[in-house]
Amino acid sequence: MKLFGKRVITDATQGFVFTRRALVLGAAQGGVGLLLAGRMAWLSVVENERYSLLSESNRVNLTLVPPRRGWIVDRTGKPIAINRTDFRVDLIPERLVDRDKTLAAVQRLLALSDDEMRRIRDDLDGGARFQPVQIAENLDWNRYAAVSVRLNDLPGIMPGRGFSRFYPDGAAVGHLVGYVGPASAAEYEKAKDPLLITPGFKVGKEGLEKTLEPSLRGKPGAKRVEVTAHGKIVRELTTRPDVAGATVRLAIDAGLQSYAARRLGTASGSVVVIDCANGDILAMASMPAYDPNSFSDGISHDEWDMLSQNDHLPLMNKVLQGLYPPGSTVKPMNALALLEAGVGPHESVLCTGAYRVGSGLFHCHKRGGHGMVDMRKAVAQSCDVYFYHMARRIGYDPIARMARLVGLGERYDLPVASQRYGTVPDSAWKKAKYKRDWTAADTVNASIGQGYMLTNPLQLAVMAARIGSGRMFAPRLLATGAQPVADPLPVPAEHLAIVHDAMDAVVNGGGTGGRARLLVPDVLMAGKTGTAQVRRITMAERRTGVLGDAALPFRLRDHSLFIGFAPADVPLYAVSCILEHSGHIVTAAPIASDVVSYLFDREKALARLERLEAEWGGGIAQRMAAQAQAFRAARHPAATGPDPGEGGGR
């Protein structure tokens, strides 16, 4: 209503406006109420499970329990890699009160080095507060107890018992089984598995520990604890036990493996023993070696420097990764190839001590020559000139085919991270690699296992086993199920008999391998010696007849090799042994003899080894134990008393 041009607001108008606004406001409030009620219904009904889980995770912390690693045992069930009780100390960052004071006290009690303390501080700075940090593991009882009785003064410190890896035979199985260690950052990033960053959990780093990781790992357990909003532990709830990894049984004979490692002593070399019945690898020792217990416990910088700078290469598995000219050990195989090509076993060659090819002169190892030589005498006396002559007669390609047939140059299906399989050269290989034709000089060099030819010790053992047994089996490392029946070696039985007789003469008939006779009188070994040159011999040395290995630096001395099988008439075991850079002073034959003798008369072989170790001033077990103790003392100068269950090589 307007009066004199002005709007007049009456009570009725005001009432209408108020009522309209009240309705709008009421509708808005009702809408908000409905929205809130719907949201509450959604949260309480539809997403009830989700928020219950979130609430539970705030109230309960879940800690993974590392699984016990599966055992590795030998063919008889004897332990090779096992678990033992591990005294350890961890730190819970969120429960720390005075970090510097606590760490200083722990360092004093556990005699931790400055390097270890830096690692602990880095882990604290880089990790989440709820994630435990490892302080120390594999503690002796005195240090573990010293921390345990002072827990009231060490908030955040958590001692515990778990399991750590232990290798009873120490260095004797180092290259065979490898070792375990904490997962690397790259391994965690790849797997995104929280188990990998759980204190105390370790993965395989080398050897069988690495390649068999899926079988050995097991499944983790879990421990649930109730905590306050600030992370303080209220009580422990249920615990789910871990599931231990599977036990892996090897074809290895642990006693023989340990004996072979000890018999090598301080020499740089390897021994491989194969069962001629089925191809089982009974021993594959590479020495010197590292003690896997040291690596699993955490190797010191001093120990690492000692191993990595050693010219005997203790970090390399010589059985699978060492490549050597096979030298004269290939002569029995050459004889098989000659017989296959039609050369008669009684055909003779005059050895005068040298053989001319063009303008080059190739010498026999016997300066004055062997005179008239047939195949048996050539193998027994290791006459180079005979094989120079015969190899040129048939060409080297047929010999290369026989070399591959008996296992040289072959890569075997084994659970190993890597293996180097060398070279069996022939004319096609040289043409492809060097774009040059094969020459007569190449044939002469290869005929005595020199030149381009390279093999590893396992291949040499397989060659000995295939020639001895006459079967084409493959070497086996895992004792899983029955080994398939191997096909016969496609070589006439009469040819094998001729070569067996010649190899018997090497050891028992006045040949070059007389030192390979077994300690067991009624068991004969058949075999073949070899010397592999790593340098060119000068004419002055040829003229004087003095090769001078003793005066040469270690890396320039010749290798000594031996292959064989026993018994000579019905082969049960085959062996290969290589001594790196041993020259003409120490030979591989006696070592191979003692190792094979162990299989026929253990007591006699052990008695001989004990006499030798007494002459050496202690065996490898004692030397490794003393070395390990010295490194522990350097790392923990304040520690006293022996570790419970302390072990090393036997």
Domains of the chain: 61-248 (3.90.1310.10), 254-616 (3.40.710.10)
b (16+ CB within 10 A) / e for 206-237: bbbbbbbbebbbbebbeebbebeeeeeeeeee
Residue 455 sits at φ, ψ, to 5 deg, of: -140, 165
pLDDT, residue 638, reads: 43
Is the Cβ–Cβ distance between 496 and 612 less than 8 Å? no
pLDDT, residue 232, reads: 53
Element containing residue 180 per DSSP (H, E) = strand 180-181
Cα–Cα–Cα angle for 105, 134, 232, nearest 5°?
80
Q: Where are the alpha helices (DSSP H) in 285-438?
A: 292-297, 301-308, 318-321, 331-340, 375-380, 384-394, 396-405, 427-434
| Spatial distance between the Cα atoms of 575 and 457, rounded to a whole number of angstroms | 9
Q: Which residue bears the tokens 């778990």?
A: 162
Please check the confidence at residue 182 and state whether its pLDDT lies above 90.
no
Beta strands in 492-558 (DSSP E): 526-532
Is the Cβ–Cβ distance between 539 and 417 less than 8 Å? no
Please check the confidence at residue 631 and state whether its pLDDT lies above 60.
no
Q: Which range, 115-124, 159-168, 280-289, has the best average confidence (pLDDT)?
A: 280-289
Q: Which residues does 173 contact at the CB level (< 8 Å), separation at least 6?
A: 80, 81, 167, 254, 257, 258, 261, 292
Instruction: Of 376, 621, 336, give the one whose Cα is nearest residue 495.
Output: 336
Q: Which residues does 1 contact at the CB level (< 8 Å), separation at least 6?
A: 7, 8, 10
Q: Which range, 58-72, 89-103, 393-407, has the best average confidence (pLDDT)?
A: 393-407
When mean pLDDT is compared across 175-189, 264-278, 629-643, the lowest value belongs to 629-643
Q: Where are the alpha helices (DSSP H) in 127-203?
A: 141-148, 174-177, 185-191
Residue 330 DSSP class: G
pLDDT per position as a tens digit, 584-624: 656 899 999 999 999 999 999 999 999 999 988 765 555 55
Residue 498 sits at φ, ψ, to 5 deg, of: -65, -45
Please check the confidence at residue 391 and state whether its pLDDT lies above 80.
yes
| Spatial distance between the Cα atoms of 508 and 247, rounded to a whole number of angstroms | 43
Is the Cβ–Cβ distance between 119 and 186 less than 8 Å? no
Average pLDDT over residues 81-102: 84
pLDDT, residue 127, reads: 63
The upper half-sphere exposure of residue 149, i.e. CA atoms within 13 Å in the direction of its Cβ, equals 6
pLDDT, residue 292, reads: 92
For the chain, the distance separating the N- and C-terminal CA atoms, rounded to the nearest angstrom, is 116
Please check the confidence at residue 223 and state whether its pLDDT lies above 70.
yes
Residue 326: is the preceding peptide bond cis (ω within 30°)? no
